[in-house]
A and B are shown apart, each in its own frame.
Chain A
């Protein structure tokens, strides 16, 4: 499942680039002073190992040497098209019964009546029993949210469609909803599947879907919003955080939009429109007047030119380069090259009627995307770090619970984002505490060494990094036995453009440990590399 793009029938071009050659892309000091703003497609001649590696990291969670070589041999168009649509790679979508939907189910009519009776008669013993039962169910549901977190993490690690999971994670951060508030793990699972089914589909359809999603309706309190007592939470966030961004609407638009959304609620696990609670009277939203319901509200939003600008800005931040959030920098305040690129992406997005694939295709093929200042300059999210390490280095997964705990410690507790704003990303991931967690979770993946506090069964799953060297042996037979050549090769695989100090340290390690390329040496290389500040970048 893991070796997605490598197809045995592919006819790779003979690899002409030596792994020992100095990478063509310059170090920061030698980079050109202006980032290319060209959205013209990168040519096949400029698309080699480093570019294929970059594409695999950004449009997914990194790739193995074999995957990198294969994409490089395919050239940019075929490589990007495969990433966007991996053909017959199995989708393997989870069924509705993957998790237990009954844990936090609504009480039955009989249960409700019994509870009312106990309350009225002040039957303390019976009431205590209800409370204990409620606590038991909450406990069981917390177990299940942990299972769902690990299930998703495993899926990201194993999927042959990495971009689909990466976009699912994007939508989760975009339409951020937290289990902490809704306390219904099955609804979080349903929402996760909603994101997956629209991951690379159409943003408009997803926006219509989100106002029917039980988790979102609960999270932003629309489930109790009714005529005369409209709750503005969902209407506000739809415009501010989900579609237009601050400044694209007025407070009156929020009030009117909230009325349009009244009666949009859910029963058990399904959307329900309660006509009696819906305010069907006239409204004026974003300059349009009518008796809009929730769908009408979404339709008006989707007619605004601000939507394409806002969503592509977030996609750019996620896939390409750090951008300050809109409230901190308007479009005009961004560097000129970014304005140019963002304008282009927005017009692609609106021209394609909010289809996601064309806009990503345009970005992933652009010369801008492969500028030396764009490559290896994005800070990996915790998920990107962990999933990417397993996928690109082929380490054992070892223990999903420990990986999941580490994500939390690194600040990305999946399905429990810190707020409706999601995760800020970029530098906010990094501080003196998360630095060690990042280094140590990699040491755990590579060696099985756990920090004390976990029971240690360190070497049960031995990691064999030697297959990583196969591509080196193919390209330059004999090099796989040369510690310096292996150091170069591993650095280029893991860091792209590595600093000179790294090679010096690796080579000196090989000398102090006997001078030959062994499994232990390669793991030693990887331990040092993954503990380098540069490893946090992709």
Chain B
């Protein structure tokens, strides 16, 4: 049987049966071939895009942009210096949400939802995460976190993960990036207008959209008469015998078809009503979309979402106020996300990591806020993780120009996620050896 040459498989019938086909073969450039592997995929027989790797595992990255104040997120209420340095914005010890097994540190009171995750054994707190010679520029430090390179050069760390999975090459290496004859991974998905550097590989590029409605051709809104001819022209890849053809025109035709199919699939996925309610904030909206895409069975391995507003130079607030609101949005959204995943039966497949480009200074400034600092905590979430607090809180007396000295290199967290969860080779992806943080319960 050959789907491409089947007389029954005309253009019209493709348009109606397209979604059935899409459900097993979207973005896999399978229309090239009659290889048994590609056929099996199209028929839904193979679920794993790459042999030997468990395709069920999903990583979600939450970026807190602007520099989240780590000291008012995971609060060292047991250290007197904290209250000395933060007379106005410090959170009282009796308000802090205590964490069992953690001595002298606890969560900001607006993060009750995060405390629930901790109590259920689904959250770990990695303390004092940073890197040597910290850079306090948003732009530069964000790039350092995205590239996992303190010079902020090269491709993104997750882009390199994709490169290593699809084409076997890692940091600083060149590899085959124009393969069209082997199955590729479905690209990472980022919710937002710009695709984050972290997801940019040499050969692997993410899909990025603010809302799924934008992940399609905008021209069809201009006149309805354009819709049908557009779809006809962009779905020729299935009917005009481009399989096997290796001109750039053939390649473009196949990719255009893949794009149509993945657009259909993603938009259909996010149109579902979620199983649980999500908070109405920006992060809640994004995680709801991710939850819906996971529920729809997308094969995407990495999702990337962002919550901004953490650059609290003034009027930051303490137990209440602006920063507390952000933390509540973050905690409530993450909690809803895992409730949704649990209702779907997918919670065990999804590990979430959070980070910010830097923490903030120990001492508050004259405007009731905090300026750019250095090390800060990261959170790792999911039922499979080893819960608890990792590492010690950085000293509040042994400071570097008023800033915390980091305890754990952020690349050790990346290494733990890569090695243990994504089952990748972190040395290759990161271009160096970092002692992996123990991420999983059974690592």
- Pick the residue among B151, B229, B249, B372 that contacts A528 (CB under 8 A): B229
| Residue B268 lies at the interface, judged by CB distance under 8 Å to chain A | no
Are A435 and B365 within 8 A (Cβ)? Answer: no
Query: From residue A122, how far is it (CB to closest CB) to chain B in Å?
Result: 8
Distance A132 CA – B371 CA, assembled complex (angstroms): 8
Name the one of B154, B194, B249 contacting A534, with C-beta atoms under 8 angstroms. Answer: B249
Set B174, B262, B372: member contacting A131, Cβ < 8 A: B372
- A contacts with B: majority SS: helix
Interface flags, B213-228, vs A, CB<8A=1, else 0: 1111111011101100
- In chain A between 497 and 521, which residues have their CB closer than 8 angstroms to a CB of chain B? 499, 501-502, 505-506, 508-509, 512-513, 520
Can you pick out 5 interface pairs between chain A and chain B where the beta carbons lie within 8 Å of each other? Answer: A408-B194, A439-B219, A502-B233, A527-B222, A537-B252
Q: When chains A and B are docked, how far (Å) is the Cα of A401 from the Cα of B240?
A: 38
Whole-angstrom CA separation of A409 from B221 in the bound complex: 22
Minimum C-beta distance from B174 to chain A (A): 6
Q: Are A433 and B155 in touch, CB under 8 angstroms?
A: no
Selected contact of A449 from candidates B194, B195, B222, CB within 8 Å: B222
**Beta-carbon contacts under 8 Å, B139-197 to A:** 139-140, 143, 151-155, 174, 176-178, 180, 187, 193-195
Q: Cα distance A427–B177 when bound, in Å?
A: 9
Select from chain B the residue with minimum beta-carbon distance to A532.
Answer: B233
Q: Determine whether A36 belongs to the interface, using a CB cutoff of 8 Å to chain B.
A: no
Given contacts A128-B365, A322-B248, A534-B252, contact A328 B176 (CB under 8 A): yes
Contact residues of B between 194 and 238, Cβ < 8 Å to A? 194-195, 200, 202-203, 205-208, 210-211, 213-219, 221-223, 225-226, 229-230, 232-234, 236-237
Q: B255 touching A430 by the CB < 8 A rule? A: yes
Residue of B nearest to A520 (CB): B223
Is A433 a contact of B207 with CB atoms below 8 Å? Answer: yes
B256: which A residues are within 8 A, CB to CB? Answer: 435, 533
Which residues of B are found within 8 Å of A537, using beta-carbon distances?
248-249, 252
- Identify the closest chain A residue to B27 (Cβ): A432
- Determine the chain A residues whose CB is within 8 A of the CB of B247 once the complex forms: 28, 377
Task: Please name the 4 residue pairs, one residue from A and one from B, whose CB atoms are nearest each other, closest first.
Answer: A533-B252, A505-B229, A433-B207, A443-B219
Q: Within the complex, what minimum Cβ distance (angstroms) separates A256 from chain B?
A: 23
A436 touches B217 (CB 8 A): yes
Q: Tell me, rounded to whole Å, the shortest Cβ–Cβ distance linking B12 to chain A.
A: 14
- Given A128-B365, A135-B136, A531-B217, 11 further pairs, Cβ under 8 A: A131-B136, A405-B194, A409-B194, A419-B202, A428-B203, A432-B262, A433-B205, A449-B221, A505-B232, A506-B229, A509-B225
Q: Are B225 and A138 in contact (CB under 8 A)?
A: no
> Whole-angstrom distance between the alpha carbons of A327 and B223 in the complex?
48
Write out the residue numbers on chain A whose beta carbons fall within 8 Å of the beta carbon of B215.
433, 436
The residue that B187 contacts in the complex, of A142, A432, A505, with Cβ under 8 A, is: A432
Smallest CB–CB gap between A460 and chain B, Å?
Answer: 16
Query: Do A432 and B139 touch across chains, with their CB atoms under 8 A apart?
Result: no
Contact of A432 among B151, B255, B363 (CB under 8 A): B255
A interface with B by C-beta (< 8 Å): 28, 119, 124, 127-128, 131-132, 134-135, 138, 142, 178, 180-181, 183, 322, 325, 327-328, 376-379, 405, 408-409, 411, 418-419, 421, 424, 426-428, 430-436, 439-440, 443-444, 447, 449, 451-453, 499, 501-502, 505-506, 508-509, 512-513, 520, 524, 527-528, 531-534, 536-537
Main secondary structure on B side of the interface with A: loop
Contact of B233 with A505 in the complex, beta carbons under 8 Å: yes
What residues of chain B have their CB less than 8 Å away from a CB belonging to chain A? 27, 136-137, 139-140, 143, 151-155, 174, 176-178, 180, 187, 193-195, 200, 202-203, 205-208, 210-211, 213-219, 221-223, 225-226, 229-230, 232-234, 236-237, 240, 245, 247-253, 255-256, 258-259, 262-263, 361, 363, 365, 371-372, 401-402
A420 CA to B136 CA, complexed, in Å:
25
Cβ contact within 8 Å between B202 and A418: yes
CA distance A400 to B54 in the complex (A): 44
Beyond A131-B371, A509-B229, A532-B234, is A424–B202 a contact (Cβ under 8 Å)? yes
* Interchain CA distance A138-B250 in the complex, whole Å: 45
Q: Tell me, in angstroms, the Cα distance from A405 to B194 when the chains sit together.
A: 8
Pair A428/B226 contact, Cβ less than 8 Å: no
CB distance from A121 to the nearest CB of B (A): 12
In the complex, A265 Cα to B369 Cα: how many Å?
41
Q: How far is the CB of B115 from chain A (nearest CB, A)?
A: 33
Instruction: Give the CA-CA distance A127 to B401 in the complex, in Å.
Output: 8
Chain B residues, CB < 8 A from A426: 178, 248
Complex alpha-carbon distance, A533 and B139, angstroms: 35
Q: Kindly report which residue of chain B lies nearest to residue A442, judged by CB atoms.
A: B219
**Assembled-state Cα–Cα distance A131/B372 (Å):** 9
| Interface pair B245/A28, CB less than 8 Å apart | yes
Report A-chain residues with C-beta under 8 Å of the C-beta of B193: 405, 409, 453
A435 to B223, CA, bound (A): 20
CA–CA, A325 and B203, complex, Å? 14
Residue of B nearest to A378 (CB): B248
The residue from A127, A325, A508 contacting B174, defined by CB atoms under 8 A apart: A325
User: How far in angstroms is the closest Cβ of chain A from B210?
Assistant: 5
* Docked-complex contact A180 and B143, CB < 8 angstroms: yes
Distance (whole angstroms) from the CB of B255 to the closest CB of chain A? 5
Cβ of B371 and Cβ of A440 under 8 Å apart? no
Q: Name the one of B225, B236, B262 contacting A524, with C-beta atoms under 8 angstroms.
A: B225
Cα A436 to Cα B193 with chains together (Å): 13
Shortest distance from the beta carbon of A330 to any chain B beta carbon, whole Å? 15
Partner of B236, one of A432, A452, A501: A501
Q: How far is the CA of A379 from the CA of B249 in the complex (A)?
A: 9
Give the CA-CA distance A118 to B385 in the complex, in Å: 45
* Nearest B residue (CB) for A439: B217
Q: Chain A residues near B361: list those with CB within 8 A.
A: 128
**Looking at the complex, which one of B140, B155, B187, B252 makes contact with A418 (CB distance below 8 Å)?**
B155
Whole-angstrom CA separation of A221 from B139 in the bound complex: 20
Instruction: Find out whether the CB atom of B207 lies under 8 angstroms from the CB atom of A451.
Output: no
Most buried by A among B153, B218, B232, B361: B218
